[in-house]
Every structure is written in structure tokens, then in C-alpha cells.
Amino acid sequence: MQNLELITPSHIPLIQDFLTRYPRENCDYTVTNILAWGKIYQNHLLLWQDNLVIFNPKYQYVCFPLGTNYNEQDLAGLIKEFQIEYPKAELILIPETYLAEHPEINNLFNIKDDRSWADYVYDIEKLVNLSGKKLAKKKNLVSQFIRSYPDYAVLPITKEKHEVLLNFTHKWRRDRGAEGIYLMTEMKAIENTLEMWDVLPVEGIIICLHNRIAGYSIFSQQTENMVSEHFEKFDPDKKGAAQLVNWETARYLQNRYKFINREQDLGLEGLRQAKLTYVPDFLIRFFLGTLKEQ
């Protein structure tokens, strides 16, 4: 595939420009995720017909173009071109609105809705207030943490705190016996994010307790009214720490955004249940298209 370029921090202004002009709600379309996870998968980009295309060569995923200068036949042609070198290339992250407005795409692609990669989106005010019966347990756990540790502090993540953050994250993984390809890859994505902290449009907070970390979260802007939380870790020995991190993150963001995208569950049952207990306002569905044989 000609003109593919390996994504590096030097591409951040270009990617940011396209995301500003053509915002998407799927968490994969943030500069932070594109760079932090893209470094692992050796993601590339392509300027195609004045549109921006992100490509994951490991899984042969062609992300739906950022831009408007294409039709269904163009998209089919793009995938055919990728398939010359990457025979399993698929089109992913097809916007639900595009499918509704362009039903002709079904003549060219077999469309699949992958529930494991749907994003969970929550109203930030609801996460702050934790009102109602369904969120009562969360609210009680937050209150218990505050009563147990009334002198905790909320600090912004800065570069000088990165080493202690990484130490905390590795300890979290060891204490939980957390293994598996996703968790190991996530660890690398966190390391990449911290390594590129000064050039990424990313923020985060630390819950500090007696000069020790009780939890943290890392997030960045998704759209004008939505933020995506990329990583969240907490001390499992501190009761209510998980709920406190979630609550303080919402409080930190509540006057800036309407919604928080807490990303996918990856088909992991425990993670799915944890996300559902916070009662998402809606899911952002993940559609992928496999080119039909012509």
C-alpha cells in the first residue's frame, strides 16, 4: 500500500486537525489512543482523497476515514487496495449514522455489530450525584472511603509523578494476579502514554493518601461535549477506592463536558458487569464491514 506512514508523535497536529474537523465518539478516535496503542501495533496513517485513514497492520483493520470525500464505492475500492498486500483487511468503526444514511453500503460489505467493542457512555452529572436506587451502593462506598480517609487529596498527574504511577500500576497487576494478553498490552499502552505525556493532549488525576497512591485515572477530550477515560487503576485494599476514583474523575470533569466515555468491555464478563452497574446512558456501537466477493 503506497503512501502509508508509520504514526509517530510528529503526526499529532495532523491527526488532531482531522479529529477536530470530523469528530467521532468511538474512543479509538482520540489522539491518545491512536498514539499509545498505535505504537504497540505499529499503526500507520494514509492521506486518501483528502481524508485521513488509520490502519492497524497487525489485525489488518482499516479505520473508517476521517473526512467526507468518499462514497460507498470509494470505500470498497480502498479496502480492495489494502487487500493486495493485506488480504484480510476489513473496514472498522463505521459510524452508525453513516449506515443509516447510506444503506447502499450493505450491497458491498457484510456489516457486523461487535458488542465486545461497544463504548460505554455516561452522563457526568449522574456520576457525580450518584442518585437513585441503582447507584446507591456506589454512593455508599464513596462515603465509606471519605469517612475512612478524610484527608485524601486529588492531584493532577504531572511528569515527575510518572515513575511512581508506573510502580503503582505494576503492583496493581501483581497483587491481582492480572495476566493475559490484553492486560499486558494495556500496561504497555499506559507506559507509552506516560512516555509521550508532554506531547499528547492528555490529563489525569491521582488520589493521594498519606503520600501514597490510592488510585488514578487518565483521560482526554473525545468531542466538544465528551471526554474519554483511557485508564483507571485503584488500590484494591482500600474499600471504596474504585468508586472514589470514578467519582472524583467525574467531579474533575463535570463543568467541562456532558459525557464521559469509559471505553469497551472487550467481552470480559467481569468488566462488562462493572460497567453496567454504573448504568450507562448509551452505548456507541462498533460496526465493521467485510468486503463482499464481487
- Give the pLDDT of residue 177: 61
Contacts of 171 (CB under 8 A, 6+ apart): none
Distance of CA 191 to the CA centre of its chain: 15
Average pLDDT over residues 194-213: 96
- Phi and psi at 150, nearest 5°, equal -65, -15
Amino acid sitting at position 163: E
What is the residue whose three cell numbers read 480492495? Answer: 80
Beta-sheet pairing, 61-63 with 44-48: unpaired
Beta bridge partners of 167: none
- Give the pLDDT of residue 180: 61
Domains and CATH numbers, the chain: 5-118+287-291 (3.40.630.30), 119-263 (3.40.630.30)
Task: List the 259-261 sheet strands across, edge first.
Answer: 153-156, 203-209, 212-223, 226-234, 259-261, 119-123, 282-284
Distance of CA 211 to the CA centre of its chain: 29
The per-residue DSSP string of 120-184 comes to EEEEHHHHHH--SGGGHHHHHHHHHHHHH-TT-EEEE--GGGHHHHHHHHHHHHHHHT--SHHHH
Q: In the predicted model, what is the mean pLDDT of the chain?
A: 95
Cell of 128: 457525580
Is residue 212 pLDDT above 80, yes or no?
A: yes
**What are the counts of helices (DSSP H) followed by strands (DSSP E) for the chain?**
11, 14
Q: How many CB atoms lie within 10 A of CB 192?
A: 18
The Cα–Cα gap between 154 and 216 comes to: 9
Task: List the 287-291 sheet strands across, edge first.
Answer: 5-6, 44-48, 51-56, 61-63, 90-92, 287-291, 109-113
The 10s digit of each residue's pLDDT in 124-183 is 999 999 999 999 999 999 999 999 999 999 999 999 999 999 999 988 777 766 556 677
Residue 68 gets which letter from DSSP?
S
The 10s digit of each residue's pLDDT in 88-99 is 999 999 999 999
The per-residue DSSP string of 81-115 comes to HHHTT-TT-EEE---HHHHHH-GGGGGTEEEEE-G
Cell of 126: 449522574
The Cα–Cα gap between 225 and 30 comes to: 14
Q: Are 44 and 27 in contact (CB under 8 A)?
A: no
The 10s digit of each residue's pLDDT in 106-140 is 999 999 999 999 999 999 999 999 999 999 999 99
Q: How many CB atoms lie within 10 A of CB 140?
A: 13
Q: pTM for the full model?
A: 0.94
Q: Are 146 and 130 in contact (CB under 8 A)?
A: no
